[in-house]
Amino acid sequence: RARARGGAGCATPRGGGGAGPAPAGRPPPAPEARADAARALAHVSDGVVLTGRDGRLVFWNPAAAELLGLDDGDRAGRPLPELVPSWRAATSPGNGGSTAPVVLPVTTGAGERWLSVTSADFGDGVVYALRDVTEEHALETMRSDFLATASHELRTPMTSIYGAARTLLARDGELDAERRVAFLEMIANESERLARIIDEILLASRLDAGDVDFATEPCDAVALARSVLDAAEIRAPRNVELRLAAPSDLPTIACDPNRLRQILLNLVDNAIKYSPEGGEVVLSVALIGEGLRFTVRDNGIGFPADETERIFERFYRVDPELRQGIGGTGLGLYISRELVERMNGRISAESAPGRGSTFAVDLPLAPDAQPHLPSAE
């Protein structure tokens, strides 16, 4: 069988320059027609692959070469599953038919892609049309994660609220004042938790749409940090100690005070939540170069160092199986990163399992601030 290179990374079928053998019972196309077909396929954005009746690779266009990593013309004549290990037999239509699109993962040197594969049997072989749906697959996965997380996180406080309210309605006359107050506090606390979950979901959606306003102004970093700890103190369990570490002479920073308070409160709440055995949570503020650094440090359960980037993804949770009984929407750190970056800042994290975590938020000084004060570090 004679083979030639058909464009970048493409093998042309026997006879040169065509898009595959002619269907049974028809005369083969003229060389000019085959050349025109090959040129047309070279400019198609979707991948096209042709295999013979024996399942061996005969032809692919440049788009297929990129999607499947078929960068060597000498691969023609080899079985496609041998070249692409994740290729599934389910993509074969059998005799005389075509299949509905099948979505499958393909691992290449450029990483994992998800491809929508449609195949058609034309008698002398099978034609596969490939379309890259990696982004669509990621969005679908994100949607599924959102529905699973949101339904779980919303159901938990709703169940508590409903149970407490039904108990008060059914047994109000049997409850003493102390138990009645306890049920009312449960309703209030779970309602507040429910409101925070809904606020997180709505804010994440607005951030994605670019619909969040910022009011940048000079901010007193130490006063703001102190107010964050005062707010967190109300929800902190007795076995967690909150501490502020900051000098009193720090310059002002340029930020939206409400958004920065939201970021720091989220980091402190996370530190408390992921310290189920208790311990110390320290919020420190220090001058670094031409900006200030807010650091939140705990000695809780931590997370693997190789997941440092993933923790800022939507719906990521350190304890997804709830082995530690730690819930959450998985949106807090994603929201924090988006807010920090929109204030021209940077957020980073360091951790190790069982050794706690440290989150740092760097923000620029206000234009009229004094930049050369002694650092607290």
Say whether 360 sits in a helix, a strand or coil: strand
Around 288, how many Cα atoms within 13 Å sit in the side-chain half-sphere? 14
- Quote the tokens at residue 101: 């699109």
Around 301, how many Cα atoms within 13 Å sit in the side-chain half-sphere? 15
- pTM of the full structure: 0.61
Q: What is the pLDDT of residue 143?
A: 73
- Answer yes or no: are the C-beta atoms of 297 and 282 closer than 8 Å: yes
23-27, 46-50, 194-198, 317-321: segment of lowest average pLDDT: 23-27
pLDDT in tens, 312-363: 988 777 665 555 556 667 788 999 999 999 999 999 999 988 889 999 999 9
Task: Give the percent of the chain with pLDDT over 90.
Answer: 23
- Answer yes or no: are the C-beta atoms of 225 and 246 closer than 8 Å: yes
What does the alpha-carbon distance between residue 285 and residue 376 come to, in Å, rounded to a whole number? Answer: 7
- Quote the tokens at residue 115: 């491809």
pLDDT in tens, 225-282: 999 999 999 888 889 999 999 998 899 898 899 999 999 999 999 999 888 888 999 9
Residue among 44, 43, 328 at smallest CA distance from 196: 328
